[in-house]
Structure 1
Amino acid sequence: MTSIDPTAVFEERRRHLFGLAYRILGSRADAEDAVQDVFIKWLAADHASIATPAAWLTTLCTRHCIDMLRDAQRSRVDYVGTWLPEPIQTSTDETPETHALLASSLSMAFLLLLERLTPKERAAYLLYEIFDTPYPQIAEMLDMEEAACRKLVSRASVNIAQGKVRHVTPPQVQDGLLSAFREAITAGSTEALASLLSDDIAVCADSGGKVSSIEGVFQGKGSVLTLISTQLARYWAAYEWLPCEINGGHAILLRANNGEIAAAITFAYNEEGKATNIYIMRNPDKLDGLHFGPEAVA
């Protein structure tokens, strides 16, 4: 390979590598660490012997993330309360096609479904379905036979299809839900919201045991509406509401009087456009990466 600028080559791939790492790990902080580790190893590599830097970087990132995911899964056994993926802001300044891809492959529901897969199933599925990587390259990246990779992707695809999470909910439907949700919190009126919730709607919160929050999962329309109009209304009505884009969907940030983000609320929808899940992020460590502007994620 001819002489190159290693930093420039890496920066061209940074967004791609972060997008892959975040989807594998479900954590912004871990994804950033993974990408930084890859960068350090890339700088120390023999660039003259690397025929295709993009493939080399993706291979290294994938293998590193698989190892990190295995460690993370072991540590989550001791996690306090409900674990949710770390929310990440996404840009609304995308083409309709790009935005649809982000919405279907970054949603909380999708990332949680990926948790059911083995680390290699997860990586193989993402490489093939989201990043359009051919099977021969996936086999090389995972150090497996191509036939085995095809089986990994096939098993993963069945699981993902059963979850019915890779569809895009129209923006106007999401906006209607957010408006009704806010009305229920601030005015105590749940009539409009009730019509937008599925019968088996579920609410859960991730506090990491570091702040106060609801415990367990509230499921069923009646239970959820009572939770929203009583407990959540009591604590949230005074917060500043900041509509934003999180994980490819319309969401809400709640900002306290001291300027800190107190919570991030995201939603999942069924194919009929009714909300099936409300995810509340309260863990301050996972709120650290959120801000009040868009961010692009590959």
Structure 2
Amino acid sequence: MSEAATHADAAETFQAVRPALIGLGYRMTGSWATAEDIAQDVYLRWQAADRATIALPRAWLMKAAGRLALDHLKSARVRREDYVGPWLPEPALDSEDPPQEAAWARTETLSLAFMLTLERLSPPERAIFILHDLFDTPFDELAGLLDRTDAACRQIAVRARAKLEGHRPPHPVPPAESDRLTRAFFAATQTGDEAGLRRLLTSDVVLHTDGGGIRPAALNLIHGGDKAARMFASLARKRAGAERSLIHTGLINGEPGYVTREPDGLPQATVLTITEGQISAVYIIRNPAKLGAIASQLGLNL
């Protein structure tokens, strides 16, 4: 086989696995940009590897991505200790070709609530849970990745599942109801309709706002419908007359949400968890460093 044909075959093998590599990298790091960088780094290593000796290409590629993601996660943990305010993963719009392997994964393991739940895990726990439980990597392969025994990897997986116990994936919301609640919430926050917001929000709603110290945002989680409604009403009064436009509505990380252009000219992503006809969680991502994927998908300039 010619060198060109060999490279073409290697590229074809890699492209078939690339969506899984990005899905793995995102769940590990919470960053689409980092996940894409990991996939590109894996590709370069794959091209340079002695592929004739690799019996299971997909397993090799997934383990390489897992190792890179694990290295990044260990350093990211240190950076997050100094993060200003609540940390949220980078959001991304749902698309026709999502970076994961199955439709169930889009809503169950890409929701922001689940991604935050993963933060409870240590880097090894997170790597083993994601690679084994979500991407079907056998324990004997993980043992080599983490320099642990097969039995130790199984024990780590048990601890990881125990820490994640209690997480409930978001229930699918009919598109018509999702759109109605999303638009009603945006309208109420736009006008400062405090009474309307109280009707839309559950009494125990939790509001997460991530500005990363770059844009104004609440420094702590806000609990309760009354507090959240008052905050949104106050914000509406403060920006009275300032231009704020709705750019996009639809699913973001598998849940209802929308993207706005705020008075400062930058985008903002808002994601809603809907439970029994009301909004039980609100995630607002304002940090420009986390809005690159959405800006690219919508053709916006940051």
Q: TM-score under structure 1 normalisation?
A: 0.86
Q: Which amino acid aligns with 2:70?
A: I
Matched, 1:189 2:196: no
Amino acid at match of 1:282: R
Instruction: Kindly report which structure 2 residues correspond to 1:149-164, keeping only aligned pairs within 5 A, or say none.
Output: 149-164=153-168
Q: Is the 8 A contact 1:253 1:261 kept in 2?
A: no
| C-alpha contact (below 8 Å) 1:203/1:219 kept by paired residues | yes
Taking the TM superposition and a 5 Å limit, the aligned residue runs for 1:112-127 are 112-127=116-131
Amino acid at match of 2:260: L
Amino acid at match of 1:120: P
Distance in 2, Cα, partners of 1:281 & 1:189: 22
Aligned AA for 1:47? R
1:243-268 CA-to-partner distances (Å, cap 9, x unmatched) read 0321111211002589x542101123
Q: Which amino acid is 1:244 matched to?
A: G
Moved more, 102-111 or 155-164: 155-164
Q: How far is 1:123 from its partner?
A: 1.5
Q: Which moved more, 1:191-200 or 1:69-78?
A: 191-200
> Residues 50 and 156 of structure 1: is their aligned pair in 2 closer, same or farther, counting only changes over 3 Å?
same
The answer as to 2:52 corresponding to 1:52 is: no
Q: After alignment, is 52-61 or 78-87 more displaced?
A: 78-87
- Maintained 8 Å contact 1:92/1:245: no
C-alpha distance in 2 between matches for 1:53 and 1:289:
28
- Residue in 2 that maps onto 1:240: 245
Cα separation, partners in 2 of 1:212 and 1:115, compared to 1, 3 Å: same
> Aligned pair 1:225/2:229, yes or no?
yes
Q: What is the identity, as a one-letter code, of the residue corresponding to 2:173?
A: P
CA deviation after TM superposition for structure 1 residue 52, in Å? 1.2
Structure 2 residue runs of 5 or longer lacking an equivalent are none
Deviation at residue 149 of structure 1 after TM alignment: 2.1
Identify if the C-alpha distance between structure 1 residues 198 and 148 changes in structure 2 by more than 3 Å, giving closer, same or farther: farther
1:155, 1:273 → 2: CA distance?
Answer: 34
Residue in 2 that maps onto 1:268 = 273
For 1:168, give the aligned amino acid: H
Q: Which position in structure 1 is the counterpart of 2:178?
A: 174
Query: Which sits farther off after the overlay, 113-122 or 142-151?
Result: 142-151
Q: CA RMSD in A?
A: 2.7
- 140-149 or 26-35: which moved more? 140-149
Task: Report the Cα offset of residue 269 of structure 1.
Answer: 4.3
Distance 2:78 2:287 in 1: 19
User: What does residue range 207-226 of structure 1 map to in structure 2 within 5 Å?
Assistant: 207-226=211-230
One-letter amino acid matched to 1:84: L
In structure 2, the CA distance between the partners of 1:262 and 1:202, relative to structure 1 (3 Å rule), is same
Q: CA deviation at 1:37?
A: 1.5
- Contact 1:66 / 1:123 at 8 angstroms: preserved in 2? yes
1:62 Cα deviation from its structure 2 partner: 0.4
User: Structure 1 stretch 279-288 or stretch 145-154: which is displaced more?
Assistant: 145-154
The 10-residue stretch of structure 1 (130-139 or 62-71) with the greater mean CA deviation from structure 2: 130-139
Q: Deviations over 1:150-202 (max 9, x none)?
A: 222222222222233x2433134433431221231234334454334222212
TM-aligned CA deviation for residue 7 of structure 1: 1.9
Q: Structure 1: how far apart are the matches of 2:50 and 2:253? A: 37
Structure 1 residues 168 and 141: CA distance shift in structure 2, 3 A: farther
Assess if the C-alpha contact under 8 Å between 1:3 and 1:48 holds in 2: no
Structure 2 partner of 1:78: 82
What is the one-letter code of the residue matched to 2:268?
A: A
Q: Which residue pairs with 2:115 in the alignment?
A: 111
Q: Does 1:252 align with 2:255?
A: no
- When structure 1 is superposed on structure 2, of 73-82 and 140-149 the one drifting more is 140-149
TM norm structure 2: 0.85
Partner SS, residue 44 of structure 2: helix
**Structure 1 gap segments, 5+ residues each:** none
Contact 1:59/1:142, CA 8 A, preserved across alignment: no
How far apart in 1 are the matches of 2:49 and 2:75? 26
